[in-house]
Structures are given as structure tokens and as C-alpha cells.
Amino acid sequence: MKHLKILFADDDLRYAMILKRFLEAEGYEVFYAGNGRIALEQYPEVKPDLVLLDINMPEVNGYEVARQIRERDRHVLIFFLTDRSDKKDRLEGFKVRANDYLSKPFYPEELIARIQERFGDVEDTVDKEVYQLGYTTFDYTNNELRTQANKVMITSRQAEILRMLIKNKSSVVSRKQLLEQVWGDASYANSLALNVQITYLRKALKGDSSVKIESVMKKGYVLRG
């Protein structure tokens, strides 16, 4: 198994330090956050392979942490470790697209077994999807744009938009196509959101003058480069 980085957020310091030592004994690199806000602040710097979240945390709860992380990264694994074991709590956990849910108390060996099982599956099945645009490399798998000297992380939604434009390069992709594919419907609110996401993508690509997202009046967008 590859070297794994784990971001672990739990406000119970004593419990967290015990579990952290078990994980480190298995060779994992563990970064501890005492609450949800700290976890979100650490996430971009740590770039973990796995996020372990308690649900009841001060400032930002585990569900909200998972939701915000999923907006940035659809591939990182997220496990909830919590004493909330009701059916509705589990359903809420999976609604924010968590990968697993362990009810406290549990044996550390159970968590380690689940990590090994999950990462075995991930390493075997996930292939990178990479595109070249002018002087820019777009790693769709990791939501990453890389030019000669810069690396920019984009959101999953922005990655979906850019992928559609790439697959129809030099052809107009209608707003309706983008809205239905990326948001699921072409509502007015989603149409406004599309405008914002296109603006962010243009900023992310500004380091490469050979690549442009052009607006086609009353039709949609076309990618040049």
C-alpha cells in the first residue's frame, strides 16, 4: 500500500491522540484538527488521501466539513467516526457522500482494516484522466490545472464544466447542455451559478494566453487553444 496522509478531526483530544498513535504505528501520516474549522483550513495544505471526521464538533460540524471538502474533491475518501449511530445520522453522512461510517466505540483494528480495504480498491480502480490545453495540463481526476510554473486547484463543478468544453473543443457547448450535465437542471439560479463558474475558470486559465473560453451570444461557450 502507498504512503497515506490522513486528516483527522475530532474535538475529544484524549481519544484522538490514542487513535492517532494507532494509525501512525501502521505507517500513516496523521494530521490532527481539533474542530471542523481547523480541518477545513488544513485541508488544502495537507492534501490528504483520507479524512476522518467526528460529527459533533464546535464551530463547523462534521457534515458541513464533508460537504465543503466534496465541493473541492470528489475522490478523497471520507470516514465518519462518531457516537451518533441512528439511521438518520447515517443517511445524512452518506448524503454528503461519505465513504464509510464507524460508530464509536470501535476497535482501532477495525478502522485500519477498513482503510486497507478501501485503499486497495481505490488504487486498483482509479485511473488518471489528463488533458493537454496549449501550455496547460488539466488533471480532471485531481481537479488540477498546471501551467509551466503554476498549479491551480479548481472545484469539482468547474472540472466538470472544463471537461465538457474540452470534449467539444472548438465547438459551441450550449448553456443548457452544461446546466443539465453539471447541475441536473437549467433553472435560473443554476444559470447564474454557471456564469460565476465560467469566470473562475477563466481566472484559473489566465496564466496561459493560448487557451480561452469564449462566450457565444445566446448560444453558449467554446474552448479555444
Residue 9's DSSP bridge partners are: 33, 53
pLDDT at 150: 77
pLDDT at 127: 59
Residue 59 has pLDDT above 80, yes or no: yes
**Domains along the sequence of the chain with CATH:** 5-125 (3.40.50.2300), 130-224 (1.10.10.10)
Stated pTM of the model: 0.54
Residue 90 has pLDDT above 70, yes or no: no
Q: What is the DSSP letter of 222?
A: E
* Contacting residues for 198 by C-beta, under 8 A, at least 6 apart: 161, 213, 215, 221
Residue 121 has pLDDT above 50, yes or no: no
Structure confidence by residue, pLDDT tens digits, 8-35: 999 999 999 999 998 998 888 999 999 9
Residue 2 has pLDDT above 60, yes or no: no
pLDDT at 89: 66
CA distance linking residue 134 with residue 82, whole number of Å = 47
Where does residue 151 fall: left (phi above 0), alpha (psi -120 to 50 degrees), or beta otherwise? Answer: beta
**In the predicted model, what is the mean pLDDT of the chain?**
87
Residue 52 has pLDDT above 90, yes or no: yes
Where are the strands (E) in 14-88, listed by range?
29-33, 50-53, 77-82
> Residue 105, preceding bond cis, omega within 30 degrees?
yes
* Contacting residues for 66 by C-beta, under 8 A, at least 6 apart: 51, 53, 78, 80, 93, 96, 97, 98
Where does residue 82 fall: left (phi above 0), alpha (psi -120 to 50 degrees), or beta otherwise? Answer: beta
Structure confidence by residue, pLDDT tens digits, 73-86: 878 899 999 876 66
Structure confidence by residue, pLDDT tens digits, 203-213: 999 888 889 99
Task: Give the whole-number percent of the chain exceeding pLDDT 90.
Answer: 48
Task: Give the whole-number percent of the chain exceeding pLDDT 70.
Answer: 91
Q: Which residue has the cell 447564474?
A: 192
pLDDT at 123: 44
Interaxial angle between packed helices 62-72 and 156-167, expressed in degrees from 0 to 180 and rounded to the nearest 10: 20
Confidence band for 122, pLDDT divided at 50, 70 and 90: very low
